[in-house]
Structure 1
Amino acid sequence: MDLIIAVALVVLLFAVLGSGLWIGLSLLGVGLIGMELFTSRPVGDSMMLTIWGSTSTWTLTALPLFLWMGEILFRSHLSDNMFKGLAPWLDRLPGRLLHTNVVGCTIFAAISGSSAATCATIGKITLPELKKRGYPDDISVGTLAGASTLGLLIPPSIIMIVYGVAANVSIGKLFLAGIIPGLVLGALFMGYIVVWALLNKDKVPAPDAPTTFVQKLHASRFLIPVVSLIVLVLGGIYTGIATATEAAALGVAGSLLLATIEGSLSWERFKDGLVAACRVYCMIGLILAGAAFLTLSMGFIGLPRHLAEFIGSLHLAPFALMVLLVIFFIVLGCFLDGISMVVLTIAVLLPTVQAAGFDLLWFGIFIVLVVEMAQITPPVGFNLFVLQGLTRREVTWIARTAMPLFFLMLVAVLITYFAPDIVLWLPHQMQN
């Protein structure tokens, strides 16, 4: 009976989400209905305590700060300068300036923490330049769609902060765990560009005029501000000088200082960045609150226990469980954004994955990888929406161009499963 009730609530949740109601309110509403109709627990007290507990943790304060830092950079000329600094170094690789999508996203991901912000920022820089130089639209947009998901994997990552809070895992260790997988995934993307360029030599424009090593070094001066900010933020975390929240505050101060020095920080841009960061954080906070209350409601009804019993009754090997979870998250990603996916499922899935022997640190990176895949799967692929706004193309066309990179993410998931040290080695080294 409990299982039937839980399934009915899940169906109701998807129906409410499909109606267009805000995700956070949908989660709160379904949780309230479940608590009111099928449990004897006082709803008011439970909702108040759960919402307060889920939104008042100190660790979560890093989230709005990283969002604000990304907004400042998005509105300054610092991101534009990245293309000037990267282009001379990449012009001789097969695929040439297409690699600026991957390298630019990797660098910007290390200071933004957001996949959508990475996609929008790098897209505004590279897409017009690549089009002007004659690169095909499909490979330009497709590689950007895939590479921008590195904003979730390369630390600092907003989704890692959310997972760390939900699963009670060290955010600093999660940040460390994401570095090598992020670089591996970036290398896979660049490898794909190389192979595509070798097979389509007629579609790759001629290189720009040759530059000397000294000229390349001179152009690299544009990268100094961004690299300095990365060192400030990540260096503070990894050396133990600052917590994730303190490092985020340093990042905001550093980005404000750099934007002021280079003259792009006006009062209007300052206000716009602050308001945008507040708006996004309020959306995320409402989702976190709603998901926490729905998780509590489902717990009283018995869904986590029944789900764990059901998956346990399948007697799946760890690899089969991983495949099932990949399919589950990809399907879920067709309807929910990444943060909603994490906060809705983690409390339910943690007992099961722990029983299967998965390390929670490894599982966090696994979650980030599959959420990355969901960012470029229609109909609710956030990066697809961002690129649609930039290119005015159909979402389905953008999704098709990104499909090869989607499969490369699947390869990355398999690599991390069969070689978990890719994820765990760096955190263990820093711990020792």
Structure 2
Amino acid sequence: MILITTVLLFGLLALGLPVAAVLVIVALILDHFFSFFPVLPAVSEVIWGGSTNFSLIAVPLFILTGEILLVSGIAAAMFNAIDKWVRFIPGGLLHTIIGSSALFAATSGSSVASAATIGTVAIPQMREGGYNPPLFLGSIAAGGTLGILIPPSINMIIYGVLADVSIGRLYLAGIIPGILLASLFSLMIFLLCSLRPGMGGIGIAPSTWQEKFRSLPALVPPLILFTLMVGSIYLGIATPTEAAALGFVGALVLAAANRSLSWQTLMRAFERTMKTTSMVALIVVSALLINFVMVSIGLSAQFQSAITAINASPLVILLAIVGIYLVLGCFMETLSLMIATTPIVVPIIISLGYDPVWFGVLFMLLIETALITPPIGMNLFIVQSVRGDGEFRDVALGAAPFVIAILAMIGLIIAFPSLATWLPTIMRGA
């Protein structure tokens, strides 16, 4: 039954069918041939119960917050402010891209939104600065992945719902690894541009201290939103969903203060948010269906028994799971990969003695890798679409050094689990 499910899943995906349709088709086939009792009569209740989960309301609110920052021009101002402080480092604008992506990730929670926003602002400056196109484009794609690791992360919300893990603790666990990963990205850029200075652009005169200090007000809006959303969660004032609502209201206030709030900008933000949210919601509902069927026919238990029956140490099994995800990430869209496998893998991880919160951070890193590995890497396509011309190969090639950086971060998380567990433990004690 495990083999049949795997073949069906990957076979239908290979045919190019939409992910949501594939999940529903596989669920119906499994129910028809392997269920010992009729599952379909309970489907409506399962889908309704799962899709009305209060935590999922945060998804469109976080997306909408990021869209308002984009259409109001606050994101572009933030990018230019960071550039004035880091442009003197070898790599120049590439460090600005990483820093802006990290800061934008702390307000939007979406990797796709981060890559699209920063790409829209940065790519026009690529040719003017004489940057190496692959490395420049790769840094945008890699920087965008920080959106699912640095809180507030939409993917962490979905993981928390599916794995029944505290979203607040997941957010705490992602802070230190997120900062470390952004630092590793910048370190990789520094090393490459130091070894080959031509990759870092033609060099721009460093900003004066007056210009630097004059740019600081542009960094205040994203910091306010981060403090408002994430701070309210950590202080116990708001749940993640309520914090997302606070972020949306805060973004409206900041856009109005920036004199860029209008019906036109709001409609643009609403339209883009509806498109993204509808895609996510359809996949989530489809995943709820297939997960229910798999549990009902005993397939999830078979997966767990097959893994635990392997005569190997927990670390070896964990490394095997990591290897499987690295391969799957090359061929599956990241959201569907996460939703389809979380209910299966998390019980196995727990049975091996690992912390599901710690694994949530490791999982986000694996998803980040999938976002920038061809041929299905979503962020690669986002950056290429924003670029508008040139070869896709440039983006994929430029992302390769950053894949190495993520793999290094995965190794650090496995070797030093406290990088993810220390902050949640301290805050729980407090």
> TM-score category by the smaller chain?
over 0.9
The corresponding residue for 2:236 is: 240
Residue 372 (structure 1) aligned with residue 368 (structure 2):
yes
The corresponding residue for 1:288 is: 284
Task: Report the Cα offset of residue 24 of structure 1.
Answer: 1.4
Instruction: Provide Cα deviations, 1:29-54, integer angstroms capped at 9, x if missing partner.
Output: 21012112221322332211221122
Secondary structure at the counterpart of residue 398 of structure 1: helix
The corresponding residue for 1:18 is: 14
Unaligned stretches of 5+ residues in structure 2 = none
The one-letter amino acid of 2:149's match is: L
> Contact between 2:89 and 2:190, CA under 8 Å: does it hold in 1?
yes
Number of residue pairs matched by the alignment: 428
Instruction: Return the alpha-carbon distance in structure 1 between the equivalents of residues 346 and 212 of structure 2.
Output: 49
The corresponding residue for 1:68 is: 64
Q: Which moved more, 1:197-206 or 1:94-103?
A: 197-206
Residue 46 (structure 1) aligned with residue 46 (structure 2):
no
1:207-218 to structure 2, matched below 5 A, reads 207-218=203-214
> Contact between 1:113 and 1:151, CA under 8 Å: does it hold in 2?
yes
Task: Report the Cα offset of residue 263 of structure 1.
Answer: 2.5
1:3-402 to structure 2, matched below 5 A, reads 5-391=1-387, 392-402=389-399
Instruction: Return the alpha-carbon distance in structure 2 between the equivalents of residues 317 and 213 of structure 1.
Output: 56
Task: Report the Cα offset of residue 203 of structure 1.
Answer: 4.0
> Contact between 2:62 and 2:109, CA under 8 Å: does it hold in 1?
yes
Q: Which moved more, 1:389-398 or 1:227-236?
A: 389-398
> Contact between 1:50 and 1:289, CA under 8 Å: does it hold in 2?
no
The counterpart of 2:413, out of the listed 381, 395, 416, is 416
Go from structure 1 to structure 2 and tell me whether the alpha carbon gap of 1:9 and 1:263 turns closer, same or farther (over 3 Å shift): same
Task: Report the Cα offset of residue 206 of structure 1.
Answer: 4.8
Instruction: Return the alpha-carbon distance in structure 1 between the equivalents of residues 3 and 334 of structure 2.
Output: 22
Go from structure 1 to structure 2 and tell me whether the alpha carbon gap of 1:261 and 1:403 turns closer, same or farther (over 3 Å shift): same
Instruction: Return the alpha-carbon distance in structure 2 between the equivalents of residues 195 and 12 of structure 1.
Output: 44
Secondary structure at the counterpart of residue 249 of structure 2: helix
Instruction: Return the alpha-carbon distance in structure 2 between the equivalents of residues 54 and 15 of structure 1.
Output: 27
Task: Report the Cα offset of residue 381 of structure 1.
Answer: 1.0
The one-letter amino acid of 2:246's match is: L
> Contact between 1:98 and 1:130, CA under 8 Å: does it hold in 2?
no
Q: Which moved more, 1:80-89 or 1:123-132?
A: 123-132
Instruction: Return the alpha-carbon distance in structure 1 between the equivalents of residues 93 and 241 of structure 2.
Output: 36
Residue 426 (structure 1) aligned with residue 420 (structure 2):
no
Unaligned stretches of 5+ residues in structure 1 = none
TM-score, normalised on structure 1?
0.95
Instruction: Return the alpha-carbon distance in structure 2 between the equivalents of residues 144 and 271 of structure 1.
Output: 27
Instruction: Provide Cα deviations, 1:6-64, integer angstroms capped at 9, x if missing partner.
Output: 32132122222233332112211210121122213223322112211220111111111
Instruction: Return the alpha-carbon distance in structure 1 between the equivalents of residues 385 and 159 of structure 2.
Output: 29
The one-letter amino acid of 1:381's match is: G
Go from structure 1 to structure 2 and tell me whether the alpha carbon gap of 1:22 and 1:202 turns closer, same or farther (over 3 Å shift): closer
TM-score, normalised on structure 2?
0.95
Instruction: Provide Cα deviations, 1:335-368, integer angstroms capped at 9, x if missing partner.
Output: 3222211221111112211111110100000110
Task: Report the Cα offset of residue 213 of structure 1.
Answer: 2.6
What is the root-mean-square deviation of aligned Cα atoms in Å? 1.6
Instruction: Return the alpha-carbon distance in structure 2 between the equivalents of residues 195 and 323 of structure 1.
Output: 28
The one-letter amino acid of 2:406's match is: M
> Contact between 2:36 and 2:297, CA under 8 Å: does it hold in 1?
no
Task: Report the Cα offset of residue 395 of structure 1.
Answer: 3.1
Instruction: Return the alpha-carbon distance in structure 1 between the equivalents of residues 187 and 167 of structure 2.
Output: 30
Secondary structure at the counterpart of residue 261 of structure 2: coil
The one-letter amino acid of 2:290's match is: L
